[in-house]
């Protein structure tokens, strides 16, 4: 799990810095950096189930918002038949960015959920 967290800490830090050219850079910088912090805390065995759960809920709530946003994932799936989201960003296609952001949140959620499971196992084994 240590190498898993090291890999994702690096990925999330790189993702945070890539967000600096985004329309809302501070929000996404903070979101990805929080994922990196969770991974680093897990490596250092300093994590807190409560902290990780709060982050997980924040990621999930925002993912749901992006899913149902008028230019979100649902629009991408239903109106645009899940067209390629790796194409360049265009003002006329805002669902591309919202869908990419949604999947970033899903990755953050999965990594955080795995760390919560790991923390709970650790606590259970100590009792």
* Domain ranges for the chain: 2-126
Average pLDDT over residues 14-20: 94
Q: What percent of the chain has pLDDT over 90?
A: 64
pLDDT tens-place string over residues 42-65: 999 998 999 999 999 999 999 999
Q: Are 30 and 3 within 8 A, CB to CB? A: no
Q: Are the beta carbons of 85 and 96 closer than 8 angstroms?
A: yes
**φ/ψ of residue 16, rounded to 5:** -60, -45
What whole-number distance in Å separates Cα of residue 112 and Cα of residue 22? 24
Q: What is the pLDDT of residue 74?
A: 83
What pLDDT is recorded for position 4?
A: 97
The CA distance from 94 to 90, in Å, is 7
């Amino acid at each position: 799990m240590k190498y898993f967290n090291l890999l994702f800490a690096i990925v999330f830090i790189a993702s945070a810095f890539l967000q600096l050219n985004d329309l809302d850079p501070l929000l996404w910088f903070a979101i990805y950096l929080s994922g990196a912090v969770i991974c680093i805390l897990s490596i250092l065995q300093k994590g807190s189930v409560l902290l990780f759960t709060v982050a997980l809920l924040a990621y999930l709530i925002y993912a749901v918002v992006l899913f149902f946003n008028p230019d979100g994932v649902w629009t991408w799936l239903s109106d645009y038949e899940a067209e390629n989201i790796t194409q360049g960003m265009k003002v006329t296609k805002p669902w591309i960015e919202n869908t990419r952001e949604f999947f970033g949140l899903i990755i953050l959620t999965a990594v955080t959920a795995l760390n919560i499971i790991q923390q709970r196992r650790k606590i259970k084994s100590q009792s």
